Amino acid sequence: MRIFPLLLALLMSFAALASNANPTNGGQSAVDQSPVDQSQQSDDQAINRNYALFSQAFESLNPTIIGNIYTENACYIPERHDKEIIRGRNSIIAVYEKFFGKIRNKNARIEVDFRVIERSRSGDSATDVGYYLIRFYPASDTGEPISEYAGKFVTVAQKQDNGEWRLSLDSSNTAEPRFYFDAAKSGELYYGMAFQAMELKKKP
């Protein structure tokens, strides 16, 4: 959905994703669905797969998984004004590799989840809009509290010849965590259930 640059600053200061329930048909049986409906549902599931891959990558701190999300010439647009656009899958993987390394060196762990609120389809292109939430769990011996970070995102996915959908454009911004929790489920769009709202302890 994409590396989130502001997390690097967050780390300076301070399980696994629950699998999505099987998509429903909105009351229709598979027999009643037209071929167009079934194709749309299949594409929605393929697009949703990218969010599950992000969660797996964060949980396992494995940047290799990121390579299965982006197209070869994908671009990531950082939120910060002092960061240039990251171009190319290998460059994006390299950013994640550095980021995950920081987490690993702290003996910490991190989780991410997503809720998509809008999806626009045009041929073999799909634009998603939604919220993400990240939780950082410091090493137990640090005595530090869990940190929480949220944001908004926009992605563009392109359908590949093999039927996969991969991100060609990815961007993110900041948001309050409540927007993630308040986001309502919409049809077949990805709706993560990994996190429950919690009271986070404030640092003294």
Of 2.60.40.60, 3.40.50.300, 3.10.450.50, 3.30.70.1140, the CATH number of 6-13+36-182 is 3.10.450.50
2-38 b/e (C-beta count within 10 Å ≥ 16 → b): bbbbbbeeebeebeebeebeebeeeeeeeeeeeeeee
Q: How far is CA 190 from the centre of its chain?
A: 10
> How far apart (Å, rounded) are the C-alpha atoms in residues 178 and 144?
22
Tell me the domain boundaries of the chain: 6-13+36-182
pLDDT, tens digit, 9 for 90 and up, residues 57-106: 999 999 999 999 999 999 999 888 898 999 999 999 999 999 999 999 99
Q: Is 159 helix (H, G, I), strand (E, B) or coil?
A: strand
Number of Cβ within a 10 Å radius of residue 174: 11
Mean pLDDT of 130-150: 96
Q: Is the pLDDT of residue 1 over 90?
A: no
Identify the bridge partners of residue 128 per DSSP, sorted by sequence position.
119, 155
Q: Is the pLDDT of residue 189 over 80?
A: yes
Per-residue pLDDT at 20: 40
Type of residue numbered 92: I
Per-residue pLDDT at 15: 34
